Chain A
Amino acid sequence: MREEITLEILRYQPELADEPRLQSYIVPYHEDWVVLDALNHIKDNLDATLSYRWSCHMAICGSCGMMINGEPKLACHAFLRDYRHAVIRVGPLEHFPIERDLVIVMDDFMDKLSSVQPYLITQQKRQLSEGENLQTPLQLMAFKQYTLCINCLLCYAACPQCGLNENFVGPAALALAHRYNLDSRDGGKDERADVVASDNGIWECTFVGACSEVSPKYVDPAAAIQQTKISASLDWFKAWLRPGAYR
């Protein structure tokens, strides 16, 4: 007999019910299938009303983040073989409102992301005649790890602080702010500090470290935030020591 595996999916259909409910689906088991393949099988063959986001199927678009047996994961990165002979429980990412089924509302994250100004800010405009804005491999190494973020939001789902305080800017946005602060071509650290070094910025982080554990691209937002805490503290002391800073 062909082997099968059961998926229990948290479904929220606002036009039918006020609360989400679990619905079971039995799908064929394949060694090389990931949870996303199983969801696509359900959508194509069993229940066309199931909603979820996906695009690339290769862990680069960051669209298919969801809770898989309580752990934030990319559905395209979670093999069925790792859950063989068990029920796989699939739900939308924690700490986000549910739009429908496995689709979460990410508007709030987009606002937070833009609030840290995740782009190069130059204080003095370079002239074309100055040539390329060169960077050494060592200068690139300082921040390269933090450029790998794919905005999959797994870190927000793993972070209890994100769940406890909806105003917390959160791991990915703060890591990206750190990425630009560390960039030798950037001069926007002070502009970002209003958001980054605020109570809802780095100081809301209590270093649980879960964000770094779940990051599929090994971005390590926890490290970025702790480094920003040290940097912001030093900046504060420097400002405090400056003659006439506080009168």
Chain B
Amino acid sequence: MSRRPYIRSMKPGWWLGQRRYFVYMVRELTSLFIGLYCALLVIGIFRLSQGRAAWDGFVAALSSPSGIIFQLICLSFAIYHSATWFAVTPKAMPLVVKGEPVPARTIVAFHYGAWAVVSLIVLIAAGI
């Protein structure tokens, strides 16, 4: 008889069944909050261009309870997003120094170190 291959399609909930796919989808979801925070920064620059009163209103909105809650949510997702990406940097950017591969842990640690330094510079620049 002739061939009759059976084709299966993926179910919409394919990512709910296994931990690895669930963790991946959470990582993808974090991008949404990082995008939202970037949009917030753009709005901030826009408000700054409109003068002091507009800027003060923007800062007041950020300092409100809902503004703080929004920023805390964004911060937690940004930390999760960064940590997951730092964890995979040895795969994307393997280093060989003097003929020896640099251990994955060292590459990850370097990223955390760079993160700390940049954060420190930002905090100093902000006068905190």
Chain A residues engaging chain B, CB cutoff 8 angstroms: 12, 14-15, 19-20, 70, 94-95, 97-99, 105, 138, 141-142, 160, 163-164, 206-210, 212-213, 220, 222-223, 226-227, 229-230
Contact = CB atoms under 8 A, between A and B. Distances in A.
Interface of B: 1, 3-8, 10, 14-15, 17-18, 20-21, 24, 28, 88, 91-94, 96, 99, 101
A229 B28 CA distance: 18
A105 B5 contact: yes
A220 B91 contact: yes
B49 to A, nearest CB: 31
29 contacts: A14-B1, A14-B3, A95-B8, A97-B5, A97-B6, A97-B8, A98-B8, A99-B3, A99-B5, A105-B5, A138-B96, A138-B99, A141-B96, A160-B14, A160-B15, A160-B21, A160-B24, A163-B14, A206-B24, A206-B28, A208-B21, A208-B24, A210-B21, A222-B91, A223-B91, A223-B94, A227-B91, A227-B92, A230-B92
B41 to A, nearest CB: 25
Contacts of B14: 160, 163
A111 B17 CA distance: 31
Given A210-B21, A226-B92, A164 B5 contact: no
Contacts of A230: 92-93
Nearest to A207: B88
B88 A19 contact: no
A223 B28 CA distance: 18
Contact of A226 (B24, B28, B91): B91
Most chain B C-beta atoms within 10 Å of own C-beta, residue among A207, A212, A222: A207
A3 B115 CA distance: 56
A45 to B, nearest CB: 27
Nearest to A20: B6
A185 B69 CA distance: 56
